[in-house]
Amino acid sequence: MLVVQQIIANKEAYIQALAKRNFDAAPVLDQVIALDEDRRATQAKLDNTLADSNKFSKEIGILFKNGEQQKANLLKEKTAQLKEVSKELSNHLNDVQNKLSELLYTIPNIPHPSVPNGQSDEDNEEVYQEGEIPKLENEALPHWELAKKYDIIDFELGVKITGAGFPVYKGKGARLQRALISYFLDKNTEAGYKEYQVPHLVNEASGYGTGQLPDKEGQMYHVTGDDLYLIPTAEVPVTNMFRNDLLKESDLPIGCTGYTPCFRREAGSYGAHVRGLNRLHQFDKVEIVRIEKPENSYEALDGMVEHVKEILRELKLPYRILRLCGGDIGFTAALTYDFEVFSTAQDRWLEISSVSNFESYQANRLKLRFKDKEGKKQLAHTLNGSSLALPRVIAGILENYQTPKGIKVPEVLVPYCGFEWID
């Protein structure tokens, strides 16, 4: 979330920046500033009241010791009154602080100056494209038909077990899935990311820490009996490993990677564009997370983009990179690049990765700080990216690598899965 002091110092600039998101910030920022003024004034009154109460308590002891009971009793009455006042001030202070926190949770991150204006994903800016789109035979099939033809993914069986959006991978389909996970993790660890295995359920504090709550509460599966949430991405547990931490400057940068299943309700997602693997409620993903000093975070973002590029080059999938516009960028992100792979059989681009810099927005929620060389405490910057989300990568491989003989496995994956063809 945004830092109150920075809101006060940059109010007009923040109003203009948040307009890129089609967010009317002026009335909300005015409320934040008013609540902060109330908070500071109440805190000052409470501090003075407590100081007077402590002073009188010391004087009462001296008066009793000197036998001046009448004066001591008068001060005791004043002290009792001050305790009532301090109780009222404390209650008011807690109320104001809660209202301020709740209001700050409703304000999205300030977009980076390079974020283009726009209302929706149609206004995103293409910044890079690489790879030759293959020319397929006339009888080329979309991945959901290929999955059925070669008996590698069973969507109907998933419906039987759970419901739509929970596919069952079978035989070579399951082995290809496992191969991709291992390959992605190996690529990430070779690039210096430390691998973690993390819980697939998180508590409410973790959801608030990375910004899934309250913004995306309706998209998360909630285990009500234990008040836990199934994770929508490994970003949530991995980043929350550092919640409330005070790091040393020498600890940075920190790079983490982890594989997890991901769970998303995706309420209201229907139609041909969500067929097969295009939109699922459960899917596998390998994530990378970085914690950086503020002055290094955008260089780190560029490095993450290059890292994902290298993976797609090795998979030999045609892809493009989009810089998300203000109307499409995520609530917590300052700048996001989306990677999309071209689905030849569907004749459309499919998102397979998002790489984002959150600057200090998540860190402020997480209370994730580091102590610089001068001993000053600063908020760190957090970044994360998919490297990669599996369903649409598999869809791209099945569709772009299909031949009359069968589906050729990308060369880089053969050592991982142990076969060259799905036939």
Residues contributing to the annotated binding site for L-serine: 233, 264, 287, 384
DSSP 105: T
Distance CA 155, CA 276 (A): 7
Distance CA 219, CA 255 (A): 27
Helices 172-190 and 297-315, packing angle to 10 deg: 140
Binding site: residue ranges? 233, 264-266, 287, 351-354, 384
Distances (CA, A) of 141 to 131, 270, 279, 345, 346: 21, 21, 18, 6, 8
Under 8 Å between Cβ of 110 and 14? yes
Extended strands (E) in 29-142 = 125-130
Residues 6+ apart with CB under 8 A from 59: 75
Cα angle for residues 288, 294, 299 (degrees, 5° grid) = 60
Residues 6+ apart with CB under 8 A from 319: 129, 130, 131, 312, 339, 340, 341, 342, 352
Secondary structure class of 345 (helix, strand, coil): coil
Q: How many CB atoms lie within 10 A of CB 34?
A: 12
Distance CA 180, CA 277 (A): 15
The closest alpha carbon to 389, from 283, 256, 234, belongs to 283
Binding site for ATP: residue ranges? 264-266, 351-354
Long-range contacts formed by 403-412: CB under 8 A, 24+ apart: 403/137, 404/137, 406/150, 407/146, 407/150, 409/176, 410/314, 410/315, 410/316, 410/317, 411/316, 412/183, 412/314, 412/315
Under 8 Å between Cβ of 350 and 320? no
Distance CA 258, CA 197 (A): 6
Residues 6+ apart with CB under 8 A from 40: none
Distance CA 49, CA 88 (A): 11
Extended strands (E) in 44-187 = 125-130, 153-154, 168-169
Q: Which residue has the tokens 């991901």?
A: 262
Helices 172-190 and 390-400, packing angle to 10 deg: 120
